[in-house]
């Protein structure tokens, strides 16, 4: 797990967007898992800027959203479908047929969730999964206690999650109590994961996810099992990390490590040429 600590919220978005954009340049038909919430907005803002100013091409990109509230129509102001159109899709050249957001108005939940898993498999699996993190360490709507092997399913939201989301609704009683969400196991299937976090309220969750024990009580901690995870956090969100010095050392010396490897390759080629010369 690589931990990148940056100054503030905007830098979190720029850093995460750079990772996703680089992956898109290497694979134009990248399959991207997308998250909603306040923190990923700066990432989407930067991806839109890269598209408009730098020509970042979304025409072949395929997306799968993590979750959606159960009971909200697709075009409800607080649906995650609306969120994604507002913050990303309407401003880039993505093919609408390549967009996948769980439906909030399904009757056969089990069948739909199996179908969503099937769609991900048919697309070749998620290449890069973008994640936010809840105050209690949840990712997607995988609340504390969720199985770390879970797949896409219907999930009951905790009281804390409902309270956190109530600020977005005119009436607290309108906040959905259920959601369709990718499971922790589904998330771990992604080839690369980028988790973004900003602000003091996320500090304990980040500390538990990065440095705490792997536990279903902090579902983000399961990312410690993944071979390629990048956590991008601002100073406030990273404030409780104990190994801060090491994380900074890794980032500051990463370029030097690449230079050492390149030097070794050049030396090996020189010796081979001398041997054959």
Tokens describing residue 276: 């054959």
Residue 94 CA to residue 62 CA, distance in Å, equals 8
What amino acid positions are annotated as catalytic residues?
Answer: 67, 136, 138, 143
């Amino acid at each position: 797990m690589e931990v990148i600590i940056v100054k503030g919220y905007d830098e979190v978005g720029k850093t995460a967007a750079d990772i996703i954009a680089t992956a898109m340049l290497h694979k134009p038909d990248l399959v991207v898992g997308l998250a909603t919430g306040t923190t990923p907005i700066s990432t989407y803002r930067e991806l839109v800027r890269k598209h408009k100013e730098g020509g970042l091409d979304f025409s072949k990109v395929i997306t799968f959203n993590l979750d959606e509230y159960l009971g909200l129509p697709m075009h409800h102001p607080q649906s995650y479908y609306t969120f994604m159109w507002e913050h990303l899709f309407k401003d880039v050249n993505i093919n609408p047929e390549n967009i996948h957001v769980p439906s909030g108005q399904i009757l056969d939940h089990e069948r739909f969730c199996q179908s969503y898993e099937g769609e991900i498999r048919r697309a070749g699996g998620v290449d890069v999964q973008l994640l936010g993190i809840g105050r209690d360490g949840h990712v997607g709507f995988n609340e504390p206690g969720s199985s770390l092997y879970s797949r896409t399913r219907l999930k009951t939201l905790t009281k804390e999650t409902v309270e956190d989301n109530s600020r977005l609704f005119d009436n607290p009683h309108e906040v959905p109590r259920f959601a369709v969400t990718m499971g922790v196991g589904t998330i771990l299937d992604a080839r690369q994961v980028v988790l973004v976090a900003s602000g003091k309220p996320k500090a304990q969750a980040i500390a538990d996810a990065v440095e705490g024990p792997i536990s279903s009580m902090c579902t983000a901690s399961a990312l410690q099992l993944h071979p390629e995870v990048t956590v991008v956090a601002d100073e406030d969100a990273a404030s409780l990390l104990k190994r801060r010095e090491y994380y900074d050392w890794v980032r500051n010396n990463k370029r030097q490590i690449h230079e050492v490897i390149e030097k070794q390759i050049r030396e090996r080629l020189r010796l081979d040429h001398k041997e054959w010369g």
